Amino acid sequence: MNIAVRYYTKTGNTKRLAEAVANAVGVEALPISELVAEPVDILFLGNSYYAFSIDPEVREFVASLEKEKVGKIVNFGSAAMLNSTFKKVKAEADKVGIPMDEREFHCKGEFKGLHKGRPNEDDLSAAAEFAKAIVK
C-alpha cells in the first residue's frame, strides 16, 4: 500500500501531528508545497481552520490532486476554537473526484495561550494510533 502524508501549518501544531502520523505508517511528513507525484492509496492531509475556513493553499493543493493518483484522503488536524475541517476539505475533494475516508483525527491545538501545550504527547500518540488503524 502506498501512503503519503502532507500538511499545512502556521503554528507548527499540524506539523507535529503530521510527523506522528507519518512515523506510525513509515513515511515522511511533507508540507503541501511538495506535490503528490507518485500514485498513493491513502493521502493523510493535515490542516486547520484559519479565519473560519481552510487556508487557500490547502484548497489549491487539493485542487492540484489527480484522482487517478490518489485513492482517498484521510483528514487530520487541530484547532484552538473550531472543530474539524472535514466538511471544508471534502467539498474541495469532491470537486476533483477524490473520495474522503469518513474517519478523521482531530484534537485541540494551542493558539495564543488557549489549550497550552496542545497537541500534547497523548494527542500525538492518539494520532499515531489513528493512522495505524487506517492502514491495517
The boundaries of the domain holding residue 120 are 3-135
- Domain count for the chain: 1
The structure's pTM equals 0.93
- The CATH number given to whatever domain includes residue 65 is 3.40.50.360
Over residues 72-130, the pLDDT tens digits come to: 999 999 876 667 899 999 999 999 999 999 999 999 877 777 678 779 999 999 999 99
Q: Cα separations (Å) of 97 from 32, 61, 63, 70, 72?
A: 19, 14, 10, 10, 10
Helix or strand run (H / E) with residue 116: none
